[in-house]
Protein backbone atom coordinates (compact mmCIF):
# COMPACT_ATOMS: atom_id res chain seq x y z
CA UNK A 1 0.00 0.00 0.00
CA UNK A 2 1.41 3.39 -0.99
CA UNK A 3 0.74 6.14 1.56
CA UNK A 4 -0.41 9.37 -0.07
CA UNK A 5 -2.13 10.93 2.91
CA UNK A 6 -1.00 12.23 6.25
CA UNK A 7 -4.41 12.11 7.91
CA UNK A 8 -4.33 9.83 10.92
CA UNK A 9 -6.87 8.25 13.25
CA UNK A 10 -5.90 6.81 16.63
CA UNK A 11 -7.13 3.25 17.15
CA UNK A 12 -6.91 0.79 20.01
CA UNK A 13 -4.92 -2.36 19.32
CA UNK A 14 -4.00 -5.33 21.47
CA UNK A 15 -0.25 -5.68 21.99
CA UNK A 16 0.55 -9.33 21.75
CA UNK A 17 4.34 -9.35 21.62
CA UNK A 18 7.46 -7.16 21.56
CA UNK A 19 7.80 -7.45 17.77
CA UNK A 20 4.60 -5.45 17.51
CA UNK A 21 6.11 -2.72 19.69
CA UNK A 22 9.30 -2.59 17.62
CA UNK A 23 7.51 -2.22 14.27
CA UNK A 24 4.51 0.02 14.96
CA UNK A 25 4.15 3.49 16.44
CA UNK A 26 2.23 2.76 19.65
CA UNK A 27 1.42 4.58 22.87
CA UNK A 28 0.50 2.89 26.14
CA UNK A 29 -3.18 2.82 26.97
CA UNK A 30 -4.30 0.16 29.45
CA UNK A 31 -3.16 -3.38 30.13
CA UNK A 32 -2.41 -5.10 26.83
CA UNK A 33 -4.14 -2.32 24.86
CA UNK A 34 -2.16 0.37 23.09
CA UNK A 35 -3.02 3.33 20.89
CA UNK A 36 -1.87 2.84 17.32
CA UNK A 37 -2.30 5.16 14.36
CA UNK A 38 -3.79 4.39 10.99
CA UNK A 39 -3.57 6.33 7.72
CA UNK A 40 -6.75 7.71 6.18
CA UNK A 41 -9.18 8.33 4.78
CA UNK A 42 -9.22 4.55 4.18
CA UNK A 43 -8.59 4.06 7.90
CA UNK A 44 -7.87 0.66 9.36
CA UNK A 45 -6.00 -0.90 6.44
CA UNK A 46 -2.72 -0.75 8.32
CA UNK A 47 -0.95 0.87 11.26
CA UNK A 48 1.73 3.54 11.00
CA UNK A 49 5.20 2.03 11.38
CA UNK A 50 8.44 3.61 12.54
CA UNK A 51 9.69 3.18 8.94
CA UNK A 52 6.69 5.22 7.68
CA UNK A 53 7.59 7.99 10.10
CA UNK A 54 11.18 8.08 8.87
CA UNK A 55 10.15 7.97 5.21
CA UNK A 56 7.58 10.77 5.63
CA UNK A 57 9.74 12.84 7.98
CA UNK A 58 7.12 12.81 10.75
CA UNK A 59 7.56 12.95 14.50
CA UNK A 60 5.75 10.74 16.97
CA UNK A 61 4.35 13.85 18.66
CA UNK A 62 3.15 15.22 15.30
CA UNK A 63 1.33 12.00 14.41
CA UNK A 64 -0.24 11.86 17.88
CA UNK A 65 -1.44 15.48 17.66
CA UNK A 66 -2.74 15.08 14.12
CA UNK A 67 -4.68 11.93 15.03
CA UNK A 68 -6.16 13.51 18.17
CA UNK A 69 -7.20 16.57 16.18
CA UNK A 70 -8.85 14.44 13.50
CA UNK A 71 -10.70 12.39 16.12
CA UNK A 72 -11.94 15.51 17.92
CA UNK A 73 -13.12 17.02 14.63
CA UNK A 74 -15.00 13.79 13.80
CA UNK A 75 -16.94 13.39 17.06
CA UNK A 76 -20.10 14.79 15.47
CA UNK A 77 -20.35 11.46 13.59
CA UNK A 78 -20.57 9.40 16.81
CA UNK A 79 -24.07 8.04 17.37
CA UNK A 80 -25.58 6.46 20.47
CA UNK A 81 -28.10 3.66 19.90
CA UNK A 82 -30.34 1.54 22.08
CA UNK A 83 -32.20 1.96 25.31
CA UNK A 84 -31.01 1.97 28.90
CA UNK A 85 -29.68 0.10 30.76
CA UNK A 86 -27.00 -0.37 28.04
CA UNK A 87 -26.30 1.68 24.93
CA UNK A 88 -24.14 1.10 21.87
CA UNK A 89 -21.91 3.55 20.00
CA UNK A 90 -21.46 3.76 16.27
CA UNK A 91 -18.52 5.52 14.62
CA UNK A 92 -17.72 4.17 11.16
CA UNK A 93 -16.29 0.87 12.44
CA UNK A 94 -13.82 2.56 14.80
CA UNK A 95 -16.03 2.86 17.88
CA UNK A 96 -13.16 2.00 20.22
CA UNK A 97 -11.31 5.13 19.05
CA UNK A 98 -13.94 7.19 20.85
CA UNK A 99 -12.44 6.00 24.17
CA UNK A 100 -9.62 8.46 23.44
CA UNK A 101 -11.96 11.49 23.17
CA UNK A 102 -12.30 13.00 26.65
CA UNK A 103 -14.74 15.64 25.40
CA UNK A 104 -17.23 12.94 24.37
CA UNK A 105 -17.08 11.11 27.71
CA UNK A 106 -17.20 14.38 29.67
CA UNK A 107 -20.53 15.07 27.95
CA UNK A 108 -21.91 11.67 29.06
CA UNK A 109 -20.92 12.02 32.73
CA UNK A 110 -24.05 11.87 34.88
CA UNK A 111 -26.20 10.36 32.11
CA UNK A 112 -25.90 6.84 33.54
CA UNK A 113 -26.37 5.59 37.10
CA UNK A 114 -22.95 5.80 38.71
CA UNK A 115 -19.62 5.92 36.93
CA UNK A 116 -19.41 5.31 33.17
CA UNK A 117 -18.65 1.65 32.46
CA UNK A 118 -18.00 0.27 29.00
CA UNK A 119 -17.40 -2.99 27.25
CA UNK A 120 -15.00 -2.71 24.31
CA UNK A 121 -14.56 -6.27 23.09
CA UNK A 122 -13.59 -5.24 19.56
CA UNK A 123 -12.48 -2.23 17.56
CA UNK A 124 -16.03 -1.76 16.26
CA UNK A 125 -18.02 -2.48 19.45
CA UNK A 126 -18.52 -0.21 22.47
CA UNK A 127 -21.30 -0.87 25.01
CA UNK A 128 -22.01 1.90 27.53
CA UNK A 129 -23.71 1.56 30.91
CA UNK A 130 -23.33 2.78 34.47
CA UNK A 131 -21.65 1.19 37.48
CA UNK A 132 -24.92 1.61 39.38
CA UNK A 133 -26.96 -0.43 36.88
CA UNK A 134 -26.81 -4.15 37.59
CA UNK A 135 -28.94 -4.96 34.49
CA UNK A 136 -26.70 -2.71 32.38
CA UNK A 137 -23.53 -4.37 33.66
CA UNK A 138 -24.99 -7.82 32.99
CA UNK A 139 -26.02 -6.79 29.48
CA UNK A 140 -22.56 -5.35 28.77
CA UNK A 141 -20.85 -8.54 30.00
CA UNK A 142 -23.13 -10.72 27.84
CA UNK A 143 -22.41 -8.55 24.78
CA UNK A 144 -18.64 -8.81 25.37
CA UNK A 145 -18.92 -12.60 25.73
CA UNK A 146 -20.95 -12.85 22.49
CA UNK A 147 -18.39 -10.84 20.52
CA UNK A 148 -15.53 -13.01 21.78
CA UNK A 149 -17.52 -16.18 21.09
CA UNK A 150 -18.21 -14.99 17.52
CA UNK A 151 -14.52 -14.16 17.05
CA UNK A 152 -14.58 -10.61 15.67
CA UNK A 153 -11.59 -9.80 13.43
CA UNK A 154 -10.30 -7.01 15.70
CA UNK A 155 -10.79 -8.30 19.26
CA UNK A 156 -9.59 -6.03 22.08
CA UNK A 157 -10.51 -6.98 25.66
CA UNK A 158 -12.93 -9.12 27.66
CA UNK A 159 -12.71 -6.72 30.61
CA UNK A 160 -15.19 -3.96 31.34
CA UNK A 161 -13.61 -0.53 31.85
CA UNK A 162 -14.67 2.31 34.14
CA UNK A 163 -13.92 6.01 33.67
CA UNK A 164 -12.42 7.69 36.73
CA UNK A 165 -10.67 11.06 36.83
CA UNK A 166 -10.89 11.30 33.03
CA UNK A 167 -9.04 8.00 32.53
CA UNK A 168 -10.09 4.41 31.82
CA UNK A 169 -9.22 1.59 34.20
CA UNK A 170 -10.38 -2.01 34.66
CA UNK A 171 -13.81 -2.18 36.27
CA UNK A 172 -13.93 -4.16 39.47
CA UNK A 173 -17.42 -4.18 40.91
CA UNK A 174 -17.72 -3.64 44.62
CA UNK A 175 -18.05 -6.94 46.41
CA UNK A 176 -20.73 -6.77 49.08
CA UNK A 177 -19.31 -7.55 52.48
CA UNK A 178 -20.80 -10.55 54.19
CA UNK A 179 -22.94 -9.62 57.13
CA UNK A 180 -21.66 -10.96 60.39
CA UNK A 181 -24.29 -12.58 62.61
CA UNK A 182 -25.04 -10.49 65.61
CA UNK A 183 -23.94 -11.89 68.96
CA UNK A 184 -26.88 -12.80 71.15
CA UNK A 185 -25.08 -13.31 74.38
CA UNK A 186 -21.98 -12.22 76.20
CA UNK A 187 -18.68 -12.64 74.38
CA UNK A 188 -16.35 -14.96 76.30
Task: State pLDDT tens for residues 44-87.
Answer: 889 999 999 999 999 999 999 999 999 999 999 999 999 889 99
User: Does residue 107 sit within a domain?
Assistant: yes
User: Does residue 116 sit within a domain?
Assistant: yes
- On whether both 48 and 116 belong to a single domain, the answer is no
Task: Give the percent of the chain with pLDDT over 90.
Answer: 76
- On whether both 97 and 160 belong to a single domain, the answer is yes
- On whether both 99 and 15 belong to a single domain, the answer is no
User: Does residue 184 sit within a domain?
Assistant: no
The yes-or-no verdict on residue 25 having pLDDT over 80 is yes
- On whether both 70 and 126 belong to a single domain, the answer is no
Q: What is the model's pLDDT at position 94?
A: 95
User: Does residue 108 sit within a domain?
Assistant: yes
Q: What is the model's pLDDT at position 83?
A: 87
User: Does residue 178 sit within a domain?
Assistant: no
The CA dihedral of 96, 100, 102, 105, to the nearest 10 degrees, is 10
User: Does residue 127 sit within a domain?
Assistant: yes
How would DSSP label each residue in 94-123? -GGGGGG-HHHHHHHTTSSSSSEEEEEEET
Q: What is the model's pLDDT at position 98?
A: 98
Domain boundary among 32, 55, 74: 74
- The burial of 186, by beta-carbon neighbours within 10 Å (0-12 exposed, 13-18 middle, 19 or more buried), is given as exposed
Task: Give the percent of the chain with pLDDT over 70.
Answer: 89
- On whether both 87 and 99 belong to a single domain, the answer is yes
The yes-or-no verdict on residue 17 having pLDDT over 80 is no
Whole-structure pTM value: 0.86
- On whether both 68 and 83 belong to a single domain, the answer is no
Q: Which domain range does residue 158 map to?
A: 78-170
Task: Pick the more confident residue, 97 or 111.
Answer: 97
- On whether both 164 and 103 belong to a single domain, the answer is yes
Q: What is the model's pLDDT at position 22?
A: 85
Q: What is the model's pLDDT at position 2?
A: 46
Q: What is the model's pLDDT at position 75?
A: 96
- On whether both 133 and 152 belong to a single domain, the answer is yes
The number of domains in the chain is 2
- On whether both 135 and 93 belong to a single domain, the answer is yes
Give tens-digit pLDDT for 122-158. 999 999 999 999 999 999 999 999 999 999 889 999 9
Amino acid sequence: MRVTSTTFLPILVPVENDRYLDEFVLDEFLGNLAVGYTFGPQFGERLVTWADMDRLGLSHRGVRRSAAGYLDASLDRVRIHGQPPALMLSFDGFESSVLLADEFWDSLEGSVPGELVIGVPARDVVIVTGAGSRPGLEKARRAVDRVFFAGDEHLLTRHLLVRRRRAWEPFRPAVPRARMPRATGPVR
